Structure 1
Amino acid sequence: MVRTSPPRPLDVEALFPEVAALRRDAVRLHPRRGEPGPGESSLGGPVRWPRAEPWPSCSDEHPRTGYAPPRGAGPVPLVPVVQLLAVDVPELPFPDGADVLQVLWCPFDHEEGYAPRPQVYWWDGSRADLEPADPPRPDGAHHDYVPDPCVLHPERVTEYPSWDLPEHLHDALEERFEQVEEETGWSYEYHLSVADGTKVGGYPAWSQDPSWPHCPRCARRMDHLLSVDSAEFDGESWRTWLAVEDTPATGTVWELPYEERKSIQRAADLLLGDLAGLHLFTCTHCPDRPYAHRAGA
């Protein structure tokens, strides 16, 4: 089944023409519980891995939080988080010769953001040595940081900046934002600008001041690659970012039985911080695609 975000309830560019030049395209991935195969795009599903390549692990020192490996556990095997194929998400900035993106992460807290630390891999999916992987499960890994297998339903949407709105523009528009919300009940920040949920491209769904990384090689600001989010929507954003196909025939999504709502809102059963996300960035100017991440925002 496809997943479709409802049409914007208001014409954003007619109300706020100043943001038109800042529009960006994003791909909402709409993870839903399922049984993806190792050769398919997925969140938390099985992946293919080069036969001769050792499975990657993390040897970092981890802060002693509730999400720390057992003492003396040694290197921590990474867990597959996202696998995306160019045939499903051609918008990704694949390097030459690559058509598979994989994100793996260490499922324990790291000092930066007190969240999992991701690693990004790009592969040529036609390689003869790519085989279904059978990675070891890290000892003591908390289920909050190990996604349940989900199939994906990519959907293209248009976004406008919220926290990334230039300060002078925000100041100029703030009164209009408030007036429109008072008159219509629709918030620019929650309902009209940036999509929640796991997605490719567009704007990160920051919950505080933006923190864009810069490339360590060329010093340019990196581009938003993708976000892995705990939730598809929250208590404010659900009115415009809950998929049409998942909208109850009567009542609201919050009136559904808990497990039914969770299968829509938090299909992968991830819990990063306070229903936060992990944002990944890459430099498309450098052929080896340096990357960085920001957590908990």
Structure 2
Amino acid sequence: MARTTPPRPVDVETLFPEVAGHRKTAVRLHPRLGEPGARESSLGGPVLWPLSEPWPHCEDEHPRTAFSPPAQGSVPLVPVLQLFAADVPDLAFPGATDLLQVLWCPFDHADGYVPRPEIYWRGGDPSDLRPADPPRPAGAGDDYLPDPCVLHPERVTDYPNWDLPDEVADALEARFDQLEEETGWSYWSHLSVSEGIKVGGYPTWTQDPDWPTCPTCRVRMEHLLTISSSEFDGESWRTWLPIEDTPATGTIWDLPYEQRTEIQRPPGLMLGDMGGIYLFECTNCPDRPFAYRSDCS
């Protein structure tokens, strides 16, 4: 079943033409529990892997937290996201690649106290790729091990929230407040940045933006994708809950906890306190340098 974000309840660009020049296209992936195959785009599902390439491991020292390995040493990475170009045509795949894979070490790292992701761009001869059978890391917690989900990609428009330039935000503050007072719709929660796990658009920051700079060319990196803990929160659900998941009566919060969780947090991830991990890349440099950031409420 497709997932469709409701149209915004007001015309953002008519009310606030100042934000129009900052719009970006995002692709909400809408993961839902399922049984994806290794040759399908998925979150937490089986992945393809080159026969000639050993499965990657994390060799980092891990801080002692509630999410640390039982013993220091090599930790196998776990598959998080697999995207084929045909499913996300808005994503600019480099060169002749047509497959993006995100893996991470499922234990806290000192940088953000979240899993440490790695990305892989693949292309060329698909005959070298086979369904992987990766080792399962001992002692990893369920919060960092996504349940297998099929994806329902959907193009949406993002307007900046935390990334709205200060001078624009200051100029619009009174009109934002007036709209919320008259209609109940908040630019910040309901009209700006799309929620959930997504490609492109703006990061769904929960704190001040922390854009990385490319270590090679010193240019600010571009947002590649967001892996968040939830599709929406207690405020944003009014515009970011897909139409197909809207209850026939009552609201999403009237559903039994287990049923609501399958809609709000299908993969079962919990990154900090309902936080997210944001992946960035530099498209100016041929080797596409990569970085990540994280935050939570």
Task: Name the residue aligned to 2:291.
Answer: 292
Task: Name the residue aligned to 1:52.
Answer: 52
Q: 3-state SS of the aligned residue for 1:87?
A: helix
Distance 1:99 1:81 in 2: 17
Mapped contact 2:76–2:105 kept (Cα < 8 A): yes
Task: Name the residue aligned to 2:19.
Answer: 19
Mapped contact 2:207–2:295 kept (Cα < 8 A): no
Distance 2:148 2:46 in 1: 8
Following TM superposition, by how much is the alpha carbon of 1:93 offset from its aligned partner in structure 2, in angstroms? 2.1
Q: 3-state SS of the aligned residue for 1:7?
A: coil
Change (3 A) 1:130 1:157: same
Following TM superposition, by how much is the alpha carbon of 1:111 offset from its aligned partner in structure 2, in angstroms? 0.6
Letter of the structure 2 residue corresponding to residue 31 of structure 1: P
Number of aligned residue pairs: give it: 296
Following TM superposition, by how much is the alpha carbon of 1:286 offset from its aligned partner in structure 2, in angstroms? 1.4
Distance 2:138 2:40 in 1: 27
Q: 3-state SS of the aligned residue for 2:115?
A: strand
Q: 3-state SS of the aligned residue for 2:118?
A: strand
Following TM superposition, by how much is the alpha carbon of 1:71 offset from its aligned partner in structure 2, in angstroms? 2.0
Distance 1:64 1:115 in 2: 12
- 1:54-77 Cα distance to aligned partner (Å, 9 max, x none): 1000010111000000124x2000
Following TM superposition, by how much is the alpha carbon of 1:125 offset from its aligned partner in structure 2, in angstroms? 6.0
Q: Report % sequence identity.
A: 68
Task: Name the residue aligned to 2:92.
Answer: 93
- Aligned residue runs from structure 1 range 233-252, under 5 A: 233-252=232-251
Does residue 165 (structure 1) correspond to residue 164 (structure 2)? The answer is yes
Q: 3-state SS of the aligned residue for 1:205?
A: coil
Distance 2:100 2:71 in 1: 32
Distance 1:3 1:285 in 2: 33
Distance 1:216 1:44 in 2: 30
Q: 3-state SS of the aligned residue for 1:3?
A: coil
- 1:187-240 Cα distance to aligned partner (Å, 9 max, x none): 000000001100000000111111100111111111100001110000000000
Q: Which runs of 5+ in 1 are unaligned?
A: none
Letter of the structure 2 residue corresponding to residue 4 of structure 1: T
Task: Name the residue aligned to 1:272.
Answer: 271
Runs of 4+ in 1 over 2 A off after TM superposition: none
Distance 1:287 1:183 in 2: 50
- Aligned residue runs from structure 1 range 146-295, under 5 A: 146-295=145-294
Distance 1:79 1:44 in 2: 8
Distance 2:207 2:229 in 1: 17
- 1:39-64 Cα distance to aligned partner (Å, 9 max, x none): 10000000000001010000101110
Mapped contact 1:2–1:153 kept (Cα < 8 A): yes
Change (3 A) 1:58 1:89: same
- 1:104-134 Cα distance to aligned partner (Å, 9 max, x none): 0000000111000000000016431100000
Mapped contact 2:77–2:105 kept (Cα < 8 A): yes
Distance 2:191 2:121 in 1: 33
Distance 2:248 2:124 in 1: 41
Distance 2:262 2:286 in 1: 38
Task: Name the residue aligned to 2:135.
Answer: 136
Q: Which runs of 5+ in 2 are unaligned?
A: none
Following TM superposition, by how much is the alpha carbon of 1:102 offset from its aligned partner in structure 2, in angstroms? 0.2
Mapped contact 1:95–1:288 kept (Cα < 8 A): no
Mapped contact 1:43–1:149 kept (Cα < 8 A): yes
